[in-house]
Amino acid sequence: MLAIDLTGKRALVAGVADDAGFGFAIAKALAEAGASICLGSWPPALNIFETLLERGKLDASLTLSRGGKLAFERIYPLDAAFDTLEDAPAELRESKRYRERGDFSIRGMADRLRQDFGDQGLDIVVHSLANGPEVKRALLDTSRKGYLEAVSVSAYSNLALVRELAPLMRAGGAFLSLTYLASERVIPGYGGGMSSAKAALESDTRTLAWDAGRRFGVRVNTISAGPLASRAASAIGLIERMVQYVKANAPLPRDFEAMDVGHAAAFLVSPLAAGITGTVVYVDNGFHSMGMAVQGPGTVGGAESGST
Ligand SMILES: NC(=O)c1ccc[n+]([C@@H]2O[C@H](COP(=O)([O-])OP(=O)(O)OC[C@H]3O[C@@H](n4cnc5c(N)ncnc54)[C@H](O)[C@@H]3O)[C@@H](O)[C@H]2O)c1
């Protein structure tokens, strides 16, 4: 039987601080396929995440289908806005949530991975993080600072992860990130330069696939995911409407789940996808292919009944 087998592989999933988002679903799917999992978590969210783990509040989500519980090999502090610790302002470094964490920069995490697992200790890297401080503002009203922050944290950070971690990858290594349709179609409400950041992320996926493919032999892909009411997406404000709209108008009127992305991710980073790189893969019940809304379930094309 053809199966996704990640036994003996180590993954680093950057952007997990609860069990509600894509990063967690991907981590779980990779673990189901046999990989060991390290996380990179944002210091402001890390305390709460560690407490939830310690108190067993995430045990149900962590339970694996083969029995037992997903245990993270390491959880590294990571603020993807900074390439080196020196790049972080002193005020932030000294602040409550950061000062006890050591080097939380991207290079700092790479150094720790090297210390913990040697020069070639990594097979899979997932970038599942984004932040746009002005996401609720229309692009037209976005400040230069807000725009650059969105692009820095949500797109440049992926490039920096590839640069710092590709040298640690074993043969067959794979990078994966998460993008959104707003990069190529207008999604009113997804503002603050986040649409620009996703466009950059997708373009970089192609160019990084070339650069890092030729230099390190690794693959670089991105998944364009449908809307999910994660913690980050709930901050945008209209996520429930987006979820309903996609369900009413996508070719597949089924509920879209984080694990749909988890499973697709497990395939994309596995040896089964050895020939796939530089690609945007849509995991959204097919919504991206639509050119016309049905304006509510059932009115055109029978979205509810499935009739044509
Ligand atoms: N939820 C959706 O509808 C949707 C749709 C398509 C794509 N995506 C993308 O999926 C990815 C994961 O998001 P999610 O929706 O699952 O939410 P999430 O809340 O699970 O993940 C976002 C993570 O980013 C982390 N983060 C924020 N700023 C950071 C920083 N400076 N350094 C390190 N980590 C930081 C947060 O702590 C959080 O853990 C993002 O790239 C997002 O844009 C989400």
**Spacing, Cα 231 to ligand 1 middle (Å):** 8
Question: In ligand 1, which atom is closest to the CA atom of 154?
Answer: 41
Specify whether 282 is catalytic.
Answer: no
The one catalytic residue in 76, 190, 245, 282 is 190
Q: Which residues of the chain have pLDDT under 50?
A: 300-308
Q: Measured in angstroms, how far is the CA atom of residue 308 from the centroid of ligand 1?
A: 37
Tell whether ligand 1 has an atom less than 6 A from the beta carbon of residue 122: no
Q: Of ligand 1's atoms, which has the minimum distance to the CA of residue 242? A: 3
What are the tokens at 86? 């020196």
Instruction: Give the pLDDT of residue 302.
Output: 46
In this prediction, residue 295 carries a pLDDT of 62
pLDDT score of 296: 57
Contact 22, 230 (CB under 8 A): yes
The answer, yes or no, to whether any atom of ligand 1 lies below 6 A from the CB of 158, is: no
Encode 238-264: b = buried (16+ Cβ within 10 Å), e = exposed: bbeebbebbbbbbebbeebebbbbbbb
Q: Answer whether 153 contacts ligand 1 (Cβ < 6 A).
A: yes
- pTM recorded for the entire structure: 0.96
Spatial distance between the Cα atoms of 196 and 194, rounded to a whole number of angstroms = 5
- The model's pLDDT over 237-280, given as tens digits with 9 standing for 90+, comes to 789 999 999 999 999 999 999 999 999 999 999 999 999 999 99
pLDDT recorded at residue 293: 87
Q: How far apart, in whole angstroms, are the C-alpha atoms of residue 149 and residue 168?
A: 28
Torsion angle (degrees, nearest 10) of CA 118, 122, 125, 129: -30
Give me ligand 1 centre to Cα 94, in Å.
25
190 an active-site residue?
yes
Question: Can you give the pLDDT at residue 236?
Answer: 82
Compute, in angstroms, the gap from residue 230 CA to the centroid of ligand 1: 8
